[in-house]
Structure formats: structure tokens, C-alpha cells
């Protein structure tokens, strides 16, 4: 279980690296959504950096914050795919058939966010599960 805590903490401590990858090389591993809203994407990175600071200062909030952030990340990613799909239907019905493709980084972002959600949920479940009382 200690390894899971470390994974969550390092996930947030690595946010500046993910942010740098996004800004310099346009590799959006951490925040694959909000492609058309760079200000929103930067605000999301700033929020994740703030979570990293809170996790360092008050580790007891790690699993709750990780679960909330990863659930939000997954929800926004699913929403962005849904908006892309609706746009694709409009483009397919129009005279031009050029359809933008989902990036592989969106899949990577989905997998990373799903792993963090699963780990934080597992830690949360372990914390609230009743302990065996054996005589």
C-alpha cells in the first residue's frame, strides 16, 4: 500500500514535468482535453501543482484529492471525446470529409487518469473497510 501512496504523490510532484512537455513539445500526456483552450489547460496544470503542494504538506488528503482530480480528468476527457464525436458527425454530413483524429495522447491521458482513479479509490476503500476482529 505504501507504493500506491508514493505513486499518487509522485504523480502530482511530476506535474511540472508534464506541463513542460505540453508547453515545449505539445505532448499532452497529463491534460489531453482542452486543446482549444490553452488558458484552461494551464489553469488545470496549476491546479494539479497546487494539489501536489497540498499532498506534500498534508499527506492525509492524498487519496481524496487524487480521486477527485482523476475523476474530474476522466469526466472532462470523456466530454471532450463526446464533443469531438458530435463535431465529426457534423463534418461527415457536410461537403468536406476531412475529420480530425483523436490524438494518441488522449488515450495515454485516459489510461493514466484511470490508473490514478483506481489506486486512489483502492486506498480509499482500504481506509474505510472494516477491519477483521479476530479473538
In the predicted structure, residue 135 carries a pLDDT above the cut 60: no
Number of domains forming the structure of the chain: 1
Domain membership flag for residue 34: yes
Domain membership flag for residue 103: yes
Domain membership flag for residue 133: no
**Cα gap 115→109, rounded to integer Å:** 10
Domain membership flag for residue 131: no
Q: Look at 56 and 86; give whichever has higher pLDDT.
A: 56
Residue 94: the pLDDT is 77
Range of the domain at 69: 2-125
Residue 134: the pLDDT is 36
Three-class secondary structure of residue 117 per DSSP: helix
Domain membership flag for residue 95: yes
Domain membership flag for residue 21: yes
Name the CA radius of gyration of the chain, rounded: 18
In the predicted structure, residue 69 carries a pLDDT above the cut 80: yes
Kindly indicate the confidence band of residue 59, based on its pLDDT and cuts at 50, 70 and 90: very high
Amino acid at each position: 500500500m505504501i507504493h500506491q501512496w508514493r505513486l499518487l504523490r509522485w504523480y502530482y510532484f511530476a506535474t511540472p514535468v508534464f506541463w513542460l512537455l505540453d508547453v515545449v513539445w505539445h505532448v499532452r500526456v497529463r491534460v489531453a482535453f482542452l486543446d482549444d483552450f490553452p488558458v484552461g489547460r494551464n489553469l488545470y496544470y496549476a491546479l494539479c501543482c497546487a494539489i501536489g503542494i497540498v499532498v506534500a504538506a498534508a499527506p492525509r488528503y492524498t487519496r481524496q484529492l487524487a480521486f477527485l482530480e482523476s475523476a474530474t480528468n476522466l469526466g472532462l476527457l470523456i466530454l471532450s471525446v463526446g464533443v469531438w464525436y458530435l463535431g465529426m458527425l457534423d463534418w461527415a454530413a457536410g461537403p468536406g470529409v476531412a475529420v480530425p483524429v483523436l490524438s494518441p495522447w488522449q488515450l495515454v491521458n485516459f489510461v493514466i487518469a484511470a490508473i490514478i482513479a483506481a489506486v486512489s479509490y483502492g486506498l480509499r476503500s482500504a481506509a474505510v473497510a472494516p477491519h477483521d476482529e479476530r479473538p
